[in-house]
Structure 1
Amino acid sequence: MEPYSVAVRLAVFGDIHGNPPALRAALADMRAQGAEAFVCLGDVALGGAWPRECVAEVAALGCPVVRGNADRAMLEPSDSSTSRDVPHEWAVQEVGTWSREQLTDGDRDMLRTYLPTSRLPRLLCFHGSPERDDEELTAETPAERLWELRASHGRQPTWVGGHTHKPLLRTLDGWTLLNPGSVGLPFERRSKWYVNVSRAEYLLLDWTLRGSQPTFRAVPYDVEEVRRGILASGIPHADWLAAEWVSA
């Protein structure tokens, strides 16, 4: 796939987090929209009720896959002594341990093939940033930091990263920073609480000889399929996890 030499429609997606109903809805929409090639930005399996299924479905695409911080965590021993100061941290750690335990050796070997970055002459893809898989690049990131990263990691005119679970289009002098949002775990604040919304987010990039044009997509799907899958999976704290899901 050479997006710099011929017209092509590229689908970029990530942050699936073990949610194949969302992944299948996104992939069906990508194909309906005429996507010709794919790049996955990582965080494929951790945290959802179907970690193995998501590893397999992404592998079946045969596309470049960037390693996210959650993919890295799936290959590392659980460290219950590490405090991240997040709500329900003990429950989150137990869910992470369960997710790791679902993977086979073959699944782990597949995660080890994920790339730190995916590079093309006019496109750089990564998870958090090209330097750290857990760095957040947002609309508020100082321009000085972005220029520092660009000086160290490449002059491609289009950069696409994930990790924040929030869509982003940020234009700087001569280049564009994008984030497709999250396929499997888009969250938003409703009233006093954060909820997960059954809305699979991804990005289409139309490449021509003149450059690229981004289109953000958000595909609704059946929230009850996710809730049923969580409750039937054996994942710890299933009632709590299922209750966090709401319709798009």
Structure 2
Amino acid sequence: MRLAVFGDIHGNLPALRGVLDDMQIQSADERLCLGDVATGGPWPGECLRKVAALGCPVICGNADRELLGPPVPFRDRGFPDERELYDQEQWSATQVTAAGRAAVAGFLATTTFPGLLAFHGSPERDDEVLDAQTPEGRLTELRAAFGTAPLWVGGHTHRPLLRTLDGWTLLNPGSVGLPFEKRGGVYVNPARAESLLLDRVPGGWQATFRRVPDAVEDIRQGFLSSGIPHAEWAAAGWVPG
């Protein structure tokens, strides 16, 4: 079996189309979405409908959870471009229909495949960061609380990750719709859709990280024509992947 894993779409329809086309080319048998589907980009409703049409398990990310709740007041935490990102998330939440919200309400906290546990941030919290710097003690705590599946797969950080610890593996496919990196001291969004293929092999899963280039002009024009706040700022931040 070949399982295609993807997430952190954030309302980026061209990137979602590209990664789904790649999954078909790569002959994926099943799909798993790690959440954060709609908010933050120009195409929130379209992305929700496209993911729903797959009929695959979808994990509820922190942005999905926040979409279902009342608007959260802006809080300055000292991160780059926080106000712009907040305004865009609030706008995209207003574009989601009742049917879209009902679909999000059906997203899962976690899900499993044989020998695999999937979640968004961590099995305990959808906004927890698990990355290369997470202390081993914290990972041991989580494993004791949430089972000993030899492979865990999560999202949230928008950064691809392969980390091993005592025969256990933690993977992150990266982000479909909002990858980011620092170039020349400035954060930009490379136009590429990141995902992960997992092949079931004797004794476990074999991972292959995927990157699909996106049409950067399609993304830029989507922002500029959508009515989303700070559209020119957002469009300028997208660069060839």
Report TM bin, short chain. over 0.9
Residue 222 (structure 2) pairs with residue 229 (structure 1)? yes
Aligned residue identity for 1:162: G
Name stretches of at least 5 consecutive residues in structure 1 with no aligned partner. Answer: 1-7
Moved more, 172-181 or 88-97: 88-97
- Aligned residue for 1:137, secondary structure, equals coil
Query: Is 2:19–2:212's contact at 8 Å kept on the other side of the alignment?
Result: yes
Match in the other structure for 1:166: 159
- Aligned residue for 2:117, secondary structure, equals strand
Query: Is 2:123–2:142's contact at 8 Å kept on the other side of the alignment?
Result: yes
Corresponding residue to 1:196 among 185, 189, 194: 189
Residue 107 (structure 2) pairs with residue 95 (structure 1)? no
Residue 187 (structure 2) pairs with residue 209 (structure 1)? no
Residue 53 (structure 2) pairs with residue 80 (structure 1)? no
Query: Is 1:80–1:93's contact at 8 Å kept on the other side of the alignment?
Result: no
Match in the other structure for 1:129: 122
Q: Which 4+ stretches in 1 moved above 4 angstroms?
A: none
Aligned residue identity for 1:9: R
Residue by residue over 1:124-166, the C-alpha shift from the partner in whole angstroms, topping out at 9 and shown as x without a partner, is 0000000010111011111111111011011111100000011
Residue 180 (structure 2) pairs with residue 187 (structure 1)? yes
Distance in 2, Cα, partners of 1:161 & 1:90: 26
Distance in 2, Cα, partners of 1:144 & 1:88: 32
Q: CA RMSD in A?
A: 1.0
Query: Is 2:74–2:83's contact at 8 Å kept on the other side of the alignment?
Result: no
Aligned residue identity for 2:154: G
TM-score (norm 2): 0.97
Q: How far did residue 75 of structure 1 move?
A: 1.1
Distance in 2, Cα, partners of 1:72 & 1:10: 25
Match in the other structure for 1:63: 56
Residue 153 (structure 2) pairs with residue 146 (structure 1)? no
Match in the other structure for 1:14: 7
- Aligned residue for 1:114, secondary structure, equals coil
Distance in 2, Cα, partners of 1:88 & 1:219: 26
Match in the other structure for 2:29: 36
Aligned residue identity for 1:220: P
Q: Taking every aligned residue pair, what percent have the same amino acid on both sides?
A: 60
Name stretches of at least 5 consecutive residues in structure 2 with no aligned partner. Answer: none
Distance in 1, Cα, partners of 2:62 & 2:107: 11
- Aligned residue for 2:32, secondary structure, equals strand
